[in-house]
Amino acid sequence: MCGRFVQLTPPAALAALFGVDPTLSPLPNVPPRYNAAPTQDLMVVRRNPETGRRHLDLLRWGLVPSFAKGPSGGASLINARSETVAEKPTFRAAWRVRRRCIVPADAFYEWKAVDKRRQPFVISRADGSPMSFAGLWDGWKDPGTGQWLRTFTILTCPATERLRPLHERMPVILPDTDISAWLEGEEGAALMRSYPGEALRLTPVSTDVNSVRNEGPNLVEPLAPDEAAAAAALLAPSAV
């Protein structure tokens, strides 16, 4: 799954990377997020249904479907399984009308359980470029106020062998060549596949990231060499 990630690349750089015209709507004014968590408003690239163009918008993490009676259930819908997203009642309406989006992420976190503690790892692209998580978005209209709440979920797929010691699922990470097809193409199912494990870097980091209240660059800093070696050993086949 994906329950925490990093969003550091500035909005202007993301707009340039994903072909967003900043003159269509103001870019979000947001600080770097070293510990992005569910229910927070985060940057998402989506095809705006009114303009037909790509926008970089702030959406809340945790999908609230358009037919929901209220917004409270979104916190539990932060991920959607790629294998069943087209059939699950919660997601299928948004899937059928192609409300697909991209969630830019500089990295994401997963944890390895060891006895009574959990060792976090930050996972990033080996080349240092931002990742493009495949996402799905929806809009819910408050019947009392008429205000729209736009939310998103991150699609997941089976983890590669390299990431499986941490979790059996991983976010769907789109290669750069699939971005246009995901946002504007007719068919999205074939694009939801596991990203090569060798193209990702796994770095053990401080347990400070365990609390959603903590923020800052120290969360992604590697551990001291001796601590890092001990943490990396937890991923060895004999330790799994």
Q: Which CATH architecture has domain 5-107+130-198?
A: Alpha-Beta Complex (3.90)
What 3-state DSSP class applies to 39?
A: coil
Which pLDDT belongs to residue 240? Answer: 46
pTM of the model: 0.94
Q: Which of 2, 83, 157, 184 is catalytic?
A: 2
Catalytic site residue 2?
yes
Output b/e per residue, 140-171; b: 16+ Cβ within 10 A: beeeeeeeeebbbbbbbbebeebbebbeebbb
Catalytic site residue 221?
no
Q: Can you give the residue ranges of every domain in the chain?
A: 5-107+130-198
Residues of the chain with pLDDT under 70: 74, 237-240
How do strand 54-61 and strand 107-114 relate by DSSP bridges?
A: unpaired
Q: Which of 110, 161, 184, 215 is catalytic?
A: 110
Which pLDDT belongs to residue 116? Answer: 81
